[in-house]
Chain A
Amino acid sequence: MTDIIRTEALKKSYANGKPVLDGIDIRIGAGERIALIGSNGAGKSTLLKCLIGHTPFCSGEVATLGETFRASPNKTQLQRIRQRVGFVFQNHGLVRRQSVLTNVVHGKLGLSDGWGAWHQAIVRQEIREQAMEALAQVKLTAKANSRADELSGGQAQRVAIARALIRKPALMIADEPAASLDPTAGREVMEVFSDLVRMQGITLVFTTHDMDHAVNFADRVIALKGGRVCFDLPASEVRRNEVDGVFHA
């Protein structure tokens, strides 16, 4: 299986010298769905940012989508990585006063065919159609004209997923995508998310505190503790006592 992500001895420290990531070695293959778990401060979000070159690291090596870099990618590499990655945040990050369709169209910004993707009214018809297709995938076509601030939390997060999907990414990164939702909406979002990436063969890396989400929506669970990989197991092999060890001292 081709590696979509590979890290070797990845280390990163805060300005005060405290290590956040302390020698991370992971390999993620194409089409895999990976859950990163760990308590607050374990380094999950920092690891995600290092993988896509959003934060520099101190030592080691990262290879994402064939772009290998130390410390941080150069400008061209960063641009190439960004063009092939979809990012979903804990807080959806939608523009509240814009329509759902415009928010999905925003996903094209930064891509070579994304001229005019500031607003659905001025972008090319082909991109408007792609946006509607992405909305259909998250079952929200009926809301295309609604303003983003009229949506429920779960719907907003599904629009954020559609915004990432319109980029046709090879890799999807999601930082606690269900953390700000109630359990039902959270599960719904994770179901939609996980099914879509599996059907489209997209590699998914998401962080979560919810073990049910990790076990049910990932193929593999990587646990971080104190900046190190605590375990890296197929989701079906994760046991309760191992999880307790991750979240408790």
Chain B
Amino acid sequence: MSSMHDRLLPGRVRSVPAATFAILVALAALFIVSVGQVSPSPSQLVGGLPRMYGLLERMMPPSIETGFLTRVMWRTVETLQIAFVGTVFGVLLSLPIAWFASRTLTPFGPLRHVFKMLISLFRTVPDMVWALIFVASIGLGPVAGTMTILIDTIGFCGRFFAEAIEDSDKQPQEALFTSGASRFSVLTGAVIPDIMPSMINTSQFALEKAVRSSVVLGLVGAGGIGQELKVAFDLFQYKNASTIILVIFVLVLAMEAVTDRLRAKAQ
């Protein structure tokens, strides 16, 4: 009886195809080699901890000097302006680009791939690289930051808007097409109302992401509070740096709280 069950009993582990096994072994080897090259050695960790403690000690207490706080406040406002303006323009430009890139509604046929590639380019190149490009071309300051956020937002929203357009309810679209409505009319009359909740959600994530990005863009000279942080570290003003880090922390948390509430309301 038991021998019959033994014959039916599946093995504890499924057999792995040879190719999958080879890939797993290669990944494991790559990991081991990489650990040896880029991860910290125990001596580095042990030696680094006191230095980290020393740095934290020099950062405390955070600076609350009035002139400095006023400057930080204005830089924070600038950061929010960069994020807000960049996101709003980015979202507005994402919509036509997403329409042109969408499989189901594009007026450009196979040329839609050009727009898809444009969105991919904007999304895959990191925002710090865009910031460097804009600082080099436009010059130092918040305008370079705004342009960076704009491009980054198109990359982010363009992809999600295009997917939402493709997944939207087809029946109203068919009804409007049948009555001779143009693609633009179908987009505005049927598709946008249908995907509006998803668009609002995506735009809020984009704004959240933009605030986080605009904080660090200043490190390469693209305006905002990051620029102040870089100056503080460059001049070894660690107490100023800790104040800025705290402000960044509060700013990002507040933005997340606001967008979470907006999202909950939009549901």
Contact = CB atoms under 8 A, between A and B. Distances in A.
A110 B194 contact: no
Interface in A61-116: 78-79, 82-83, 85-87, 89, 91-98, 106-107, 109-111, 114
Interface residues on B, range: 10 to 19
A89 B194 contact: no
A86 B182 CA distance: 16
Counting chain A CB atoms within 10 Å of each CB, which of B172, B176, B185 scores highest?
Answer: B172
Given A95-B189, A95-B194, A118-B185, A107 B179 contact: yes
Contact of A95 (B172, B179, B180, B182): B172
A104 B106 CA distance: 25
A110 B185 contact: yes
A202 to B, nearest CB: 15
Interface string A111-146: 100100111000000000000000000000000000
A89 B193 contact: no
Contact of A119 (B176, B178, B189, B194): B189
Contact of B194 (A91, A96, A111, A117): A96
A167 interface: yes
Q: Is the interface of A mostly helix, strand, loop or mixed?
A: loop
Q: Is the interface of B mostly helix, strand, loop or mixed?
A: helix
A106 to B, nearest CB: 5
Interface residues on A, range: 20 to 34
Lowest 4 A-B CB distances belong to which pairs?
A110-B180, A93-B175, A82-B180, A109-B181
Interface of B: 169, 171-172, 174-176, 178-182, 185-186, 188-190, 193-194, 196
11 contacts: A54-B178, A85-B179, A87-B175, A89-B175, A93-B171, A106-B181, A106-B189, A109-B189, A110-B176, A110-B181, A110-B185
Interface of A: 52, 54, 78-79, 82-83, 85-87, 89, 91-98, 106-107, 109-111, 114, 117-119, 160, 163-164, 167
